[in-house]
Amino acid sequence: MVSVVIPAYNEEKAFPATLRALFTQQGDYEVLVVDGGSTDRTLAALPEFDFETPPLLTLHPSRLLLTAPKGRAFQMNAGAKQANGDWLLFLHADTVLPSGAIQRLNEMEADQTIQAGGFMHQFSGDDWRLKLISFLDNFRCIRSRIIYGDQALFVRRVLFEQLGGFPNRPILEDVAFCERLIAVTTPLLLSPSVVTDARKFLKMGVWRSFFRVLLIILYVEFRLPVLPRAFFQDVR
């Protein structure tokens, strides 16, 4: 079984599309939504959610809602602790899985040579600048096998626990975890791509976003000094 862990925070604009695509997937899976204290209508995307109920409740046999301190590392680790699947798949609330993704992971469960992986990435829309950013990001990932959070990282639950989960740090927790991961296995890269909602890049400005991506790549590749937290400001 695949445990899909979704860290969510103020994602009312994109989260409904993510869930619609997810619940059309065929296969054996459960979904754990971990909210970091959303103040908008993110949780309204879960039609059974009742705002008067306790923070931990079963919404559906395949759906569990939890709360955790804001921060993807905290939220994803909280979801992983409640997961039952052989695979943990960490899916951003603004990212859509390709059709057949869950079944594909189900089919790989018996192949112990595959311990982790992720998907190639693209942004929604047709902006050529965003296509360029995705191309460079995919090239980087093929070369380094460092999988970013918006690439739907998947990893065996046993291995995830052995590696200690995501480091409890406010930024680049995905990079830090993958640096541990590639020391013990070579993650598999799958296509077709996941699709991330482009609105945050468009709102911030494509070229400014592109510059941020380049700095992150330089940080990862050349061990530059840690980027300031303000560099990762929330854009909703």
pLDDT in tens, the chain (236 residues): 999 999 999 999 899 899 889 988 999 999 999 999 899 988 887 765 444 444 444 445 567 788 888 889 999 999 999 999 999 999 999 999 999 999 999 999 999 999 999 999 999 989 898 898 889 889 988 998 999 889 999 999 999 999 999 998 777 789 889 999 999 999 999 999 999 998 877 776 777 767 776 776 666 666 666 555 554 555 55
The total domain count for the chain is: 1
The whole domain housing 189 covers 2-200
- List the Cα angle 115/135/155 in 5-degree steps: 15
- List the Cα angle 149/154/160 in 5-degree steps: 100
DSSP 223: -
Is residue 235 in some structural domain? no
Is residue 16 in some structural domain? yes
Determine how β-strand 29-35 pairs with β-strand 63-67: parallel
Residue type, 104: R
Strand residue runs (E) in 19-164: 29-35, 57-60, 63-67, 87-90, 95-96, 116-123, 154-156
Is residue 212 in some structural domain? no
Question: What whole-number distance in Å separates Cα of residue 65 and Cα of residue 50?
Answer: 11
CATH of the domain at 143: 3.90.550.10
Is residue 83 in some structural domain? yes
Position 169 scores a pLDDT of 79
Q: CB of 188 within 8 A of CB of 181?
A: no
Is residue 104 in some structural domain? yes
Position 66 scores a pLDDT of 85
Position 58 scores a pLDDT of 45
Is residue 134 in some structural domain? yes
Is residue 56 in some structural domain? yes
Is residue 53 in some structural domain? yes
